[in-house]
C-alpha cells in the first residue's frame, strides 16, 4: 500500500468547521510546534480551532498559545491529574490524562461541537472515541519513544498489541516523513490504515521576523569568520563528535589565512533536567578545549528561534552529522534560507536532498564531511548555487502554504467521510 502525501483539490473556506486538538501537555517541544502550525494552518482556512490540554507551561510555551498574547485558544481540563506519584508511574499518569481529555470530548463536548478531533495522546483514546462517539479522528504519530534512539535500537521495539490495534480506529493517521511511515509499518504491521505524510514547516511565526544581531549571540566571533553550524540535542545520537572530527580534518586541508577564519558553532539544546545531556555537553567541551582548534569552536546550550535563523543566515553551510535521521530537523530551516546542507546519505536527508544540487550527501566519515566543507568554504559560487537550489526545493514542496493546503485536504476529506457514513 502506498502512502499518500496529499490529495489536494479546490479547497475553500466554505469547507470550514470546528476542529479540536488534544495534547496532554503543551510546552516548547518540536511536537508542540508541529501541532501549533497545524492549528494555524486550519485557522487560516476558516476553521474554528481549539486546544484542549491538561497542562500548559505558561513560562515555556510558544507565543501562539501564550495565555496573554496567544492567537490560539487553549482550554484546560484534568489539570489536577499529577505528572507522577512520588516520582513514579509517569506513563500511567500520561495515560490517565489522555483518557480524561477523550472522555471530556465524548461526554462534555465544547460548543460548537467539533466535527474533527486531531489528537496526540495515548492511542487507546482512539478506541473510546470510536465506540462512544461519531467524531472523525486524525491521529498524529510523532514516535517520541524513538527520537533519542539509533536505528538499530528502535527496530527491536515491540509495541503492545492493544495499542497497535487501537490505531485502526483512527479515521486518518499522520506522520511527518516517509521514513517514519516505514517505521510505523515495521512497528504496527497489523494496522492497515493508509498513512498521510505531512512534513513540518518552518516559515511560520517568529521565523518570519527579522533576525538578531550575530554579535549578540557570539560576541567574540571574528568579523570575517567562515562559519559552519551544527544543530541538535546534546545526545550521542546527534553525533557532534563527527562534526568536530570533520573540522579537524578540514583545518589540515586549509592553509593560512583562510584556515584561521574557520569557525564551527555547535548549537545544541541542553536541558538542565537531563543528566544525559548535561554530561554529554561537558564531555564535548572538555575534549574540545584540549584540541588545537578549540578556540575555533563555540558551544551554545539554548537556541531561541531567531538566534537559529541568524546563525543559518550567516553560515557557509549547515552540517548535519546524524546517522539515519528520520526527522526533518534543521534541514528544512537551512533550505528555507538558501543555505547548503552537508548531511549523511541516509534517512530523511537522502529523500529530500539531491546530491551536489540542493545539498551534499556523504558517508559518515570525517574526511568525507571535511571534503564537502572545503569545497563550500573555498568556492563561493558552488555555495551560492547549491543554496539557491535548496531554496527552490523548499519553495516547491515545504512552505507553510503547502503544509496548510495538504492538511486542509486531509481534514476536509475526513469530514466528508463522516458525512458519507452517517
- CB 264, CB 258: distance < 8 Å: no
The answer to whether residue 5 is domain-embedded is no
330 and 417, same structural domain? no
77 and 169, same structural domain? yes
What pLDDT, on a 0 to 100 scale, did the predictor assign at position 156? 57
Element (H, E) at 371: helix 366-378
385 and 253, same structural domain? yes
- CB 55, CB 79: distance < 8 Å: yes
Whole-angstrom Cα distance, residue 89 to residue 26? 20
The answer to whether residue 323 is domain-embedded is yes
The answer to whether residue 7 is domain-embedded is no
The answer to whether residue 229 is domain-embedded is yes
196 and 213, same structural domain? no
User: How many CA atoms are closer than 13 Å to the CA of 387, on its beta-carbon side?
Assistant: 19
The residue-averaged pLDDT of 179-201 equals 91
Whether the pLDDT of residue 8 is over 70: the answer is no
Whether the pLDDT of residue 336 is over 90: the answer is yes
10 Å Cβ neighbour count for 380?
Answer: 10
What pLDDT, on a 0 to 100 scale, did the predictor assign at position 154? 59
pLDDT in tens, 109-142: 999 999 999 999 999 999 999 999 999 999 999 9
The answer to whether residue 363 is domain-embedded is yes
If you ran DSSP here, which 8-state letter would residue 59 be given? S
224 and 196, same structural domain? no
pLDDT in tens, 20-37: 999 999 998 889 999 999
Instruction: Go through the chain and tell me how many residues it has.
Output: 422
Cα three-residue angle 246-252-256, rounded to 5 degrees: 120
Tell if the pTM clears 0.85, that is, is over it: yes
Element (H, E) at 264: strand 262-269
Tell me whether residue 147 is exposed, middle or buried, using C-beta atoms within 10 angstroms of its C-beta: 0 to 12, 13 to 18, 19 or more: middle
The answer to whether residue 6 is domain-embedded is no
pLDDT in tens, 63-85: 999 998 899 999 999 999 999 99
- CB 115, CB 136: distance < 8 Å: yes
Whole-angstrom Cα distance, residue 4 to residue 195? 6
245 and 126, same structural domain? no
- CB 364, CB 230: distance < 8 Å: no
Whole-angstrom Cα distance, residue 150 to residue 178? 17
The answer to whether residue 3 is domain-embedded is no
Whole-angstrom Cα distance, residue 380 to residue 372? 13
pLDDT in tens, 344-367: 999 999 999 999 999 999 999 999
Q: Which grid cell is 418?
A: 463522516
* Dihedral angle sign, alpha carbons of residues 146, 148, 151, 154: negative
CATH of the domain at 125: 3.40.50.2000
147 and 29, same structural domain? yes
Whole-angstrom Cα distance, residue 58 to residue 74? 11
The answer to whether residue 8 is domain-embedded is no
Q: N- to C-terminal Cα distance for the chain?
A: 27
Whether the pLDDT of residue 256 is over 80: the answer is yes
Instruction: Give the bridge partners for 173, in sequence order.
Output: 139, 195
Domain assignment of residue 158, given as a range? 13-201+400-421
Whole-angstrom Cα distance, residue 195 to residue 72? 27
143 and 212, same structural domain? no
Structural domains counted in the chain = 2
Instruction: Give the bridge partners for 75, in sequence order.
Output: 52
318 and 221, same structural domain? yes
82 and 52, same structural domain? yes
Residue 47, sorted as left (phi over 0), alpha (psi -120 to 50) or beta, turns out to be beta
245 and 184, same structural domain? no
**Three-class DSSP labels, 32-44:** HHHHHHHHHHHHH
Amino acid at each position: 500500500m502506498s502512502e499518500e502525501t496529499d490529495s489536494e483539490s479546490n479547497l475553500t473556506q466554505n469547507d470550514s468547521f470546528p476542529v479540536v486538538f488534544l495534547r496532554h501537555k503543551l510546552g516548547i517541544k518540536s511536537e508542540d510546534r508541529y501541532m501549533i502550525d497545524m492549528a494555524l494552518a486550519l485557522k487560516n482556512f476558516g476553521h474554528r480551532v481549539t486546544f484542549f490540554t491538561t497542562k500548559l507551561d505558561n513560562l515555556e510555551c510558544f507565543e501562539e498559545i501564550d495565555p496573554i498574547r496567544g492567537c490560539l485558544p487553549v482550554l484546560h481540563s484534568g489539570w489536577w491529574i499529577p505528572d507522577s506519584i512520588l516520582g513514579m508511574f509517569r506513563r500511567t499518569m500520561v495515560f490517565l490524562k489522555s483518557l480524561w481529555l477523550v472522555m471530556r470530548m465524548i461526554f462534555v463536548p465544547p460548543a460548537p461541537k467539533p466535527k474533527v478531533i486531531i489528537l496526540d495522546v495515548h492511542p487507546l483514546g482512539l478506541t473510546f472515541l470510536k465506540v462512544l462517539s461519531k467524531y472523525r479522528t486524525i491521529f498524529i504519530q510523532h514516535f517520541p519513544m524513538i527520537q533519542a534512539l539509533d536505528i538499530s535500537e528502535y527496530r527491536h521495539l515491540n509495541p503492545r498489541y492493544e495499542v497497535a490495534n487501537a490505531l485502526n480506529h483512527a479515521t486518518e493517521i499522520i506522520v511527518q516523513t516517509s521514513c517514519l511511515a516505514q517505521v510505523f509499518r515495521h512497528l504496527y504491521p497489523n494496522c492497515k490504515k493508509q498513512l498521510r505524510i505531512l512534513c513540518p514547516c518552518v516559515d511560520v511565526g517568529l521565523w518570519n521576523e527579522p533576525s538578531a544581531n550575530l554579535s549578540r549571540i557570539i560576541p567574540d566571533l571574528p568579523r570575517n569568520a567562515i562559519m559552519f553550524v551544527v544543530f541538535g540535542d546534546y545526545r550521542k545520537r546527534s553525533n557532534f563528535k563527527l562534526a568536530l572530527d570533520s573540522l579537524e580534518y578540514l583545518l589540515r586541508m586549509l592553509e593560512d589565512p583562510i584556515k584561521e577564519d574557520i569557525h564551527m558553532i555547535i548549537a545544541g539544546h541542553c536541558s538542565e533536567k537531563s543528566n544525559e545531556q548535561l554530561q554529554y555537553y561537558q564531555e564535548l567541551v572538555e575534549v574540545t578545549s584540549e584540541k588545537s582548534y578549540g578556540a575555533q569552536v563555540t558551544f551554545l546550550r539554548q537556541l531561541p528561534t531567531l538566534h537559529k535563523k541568524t546563525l543559518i543566515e550567516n553560515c557557509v553551510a549547515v552540517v548535519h552529522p546524524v546517522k539515519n535521521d528520520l526527522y526533518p530537523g534543521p534541514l528544512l530551516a537551512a533550505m528555507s534560507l538558501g543555505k547548503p546542507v552537508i548531511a549523511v546519505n541516509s534517512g530523511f536527508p537522502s529523500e529530500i536532498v539531491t546530491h551536489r544540487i540542493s545539498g551534499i550527501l556523504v558517508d559518515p566519515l570525517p574526511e568525507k564531511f571535511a571534503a564537502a566543507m572545503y569545497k563550500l568554504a573555498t568556492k563561493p559560487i558552488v555555495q551560492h548555487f547549491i543554496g539557491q537550489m535548496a531554496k527552490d526545493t523548499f519553495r516547491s514542496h515545504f512552505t507553510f502554504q503547502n503544509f496548510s493546503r495538504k492538511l486542509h485536504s486531509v481534514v476536509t476529506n475526513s469530514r466528508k467521510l463522516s458525512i458519507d457514513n452517517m
